[in-house]
Amino acid sequence: MTGYAVTAQFYDPMTEASHAHVRAQITDALNGLDARSHPIVDIGAGTGLTTRAIAAVLPETEIVAVEPDPFMRPALMTRIWSDPDLRRRVSILPMPVLDAPLPPVIAGAVASASLVHFSPADRARLWTLLEERLLPAGRIVVEIQCPLSREIPETLLATERIGGVHYEGWASAVPVDEQRLHWHLTYVARCGDVEIDRRSTDHVCWVISSRDVLTEARASGLDGAVTGDLVVLGKAASTT
Ligand SMILES: C[S@@+](CC[C@H](N)C(=O)[O-])C[C@H]1O[C@@H](n2cnc3c(N)ncnc32)[C@H](O)[C@@H]1O
């Protein structure tokens, strides 16, 4: 998959603030997890914003950051390399998670803004793969982004200023069918009144609701609960 060729350079300024509330929910969901002996898998680590947040809330934990996109991965590598603590404990795996040589035992996994890239068949494989590796007291934290396939009018995602350049990110979506949305994203950069850059890109993403995640996960021996924008899963037998 090379779907982030356009988005990658704008990803941090367009999402660091606008996605911060979800990252806070993710760190709350991981808080207190005993992950000292086994790693957490960051599924679709992107540029590493959530990887860094996981590392902050679990300061003794190793992280396996899985990121297949060759345009996102350089930012991830730079973020990890530039921080001695992250460099010591984050491993970057450069392939789709279903093809990755994951550790046989994991304390947990996070899918932050990445489940939309998994088809129903891929999700079924993902839940099984995670359940087989998860410690009895482990946690899987999944962000629900698009529960329904419905038209989304052009919406301003974020604005940021970097030096003298003002950036905007815009998004709209139309249904492909009941399970998929076709997203159109546009990034604009301006110096004063002069537009210096404008780039667009398209993604076809899967929609999934928290209820469907729970149903699918239960079929693979996981169970859990919805909390805010997340579904937090554990081994079915250990879920209270
Ligand atoms: C919107 S970004 C989210 C980045 C990051 N998790 C965050 O919270 O900012 C989604 C990421 O999922 C990755 N991705 C897509 N398909 C994947 C797969 N099969 N396995 C792992 N990652 C995948 C994409 O390459 C992309 O970097």
CATH code, 124:
3.40.50.150
Atom of ligand 1 nearest to the CA of 111: 6
Structure tokens at 135: 């410690």
**Residue 104 belongs to some domain of the structure:** yes
**Residue 2 belongs to some domain of the structure:** no
Q: How far apart are CA 13 and CA 213, in angstroms?
A: 30
Centroid of ligand 1 to alpha carbon of 145 (angstroms):
13
Summarised one tens digit per residue, pLDDT across range 164-191 is 999 999 999 999 999 999 999 999 999 9
Summarised one tens digit per residue, pLDDT across range 116-135 is 999 999 999 999 999 999 99
**Same structural domain for residues 130 and 162?**
no
Question: Could you tell me if the CB of 143 is within 6 A of ligand 1?
Answer: no
**Residue 3 belongs to some domain of the structure:** no
Work out the number of other CB atoms within 10 angstroms of the CB of residue 21.
Answer: 10
Residue 188 sits in which domain range? 152-206
**Same structural domain for residues 74 and 191?**
no
Question: Could you tell me if the CB of 114 is within 6 A of ligand 1?
Answer: yes
Distances in Å between the Cα of 162 and the Cα atoms of 7, 58, 100, 190, 223 are 17, 31, 36, 10, 43
**Same structural domain for residues 215 and 166?**
no
Q: 0.95 exceeded by the pTM?
A: yes
Instruction: Report how far Cα 56 is from the mean position of its chain's Cα atoms.
Output: 17
**Same structural domain for residues 165 and 84?**
no
**Same structural domain for residues 157 and 81?**
no
**Same structural domain for residues 62 and 168?**
no
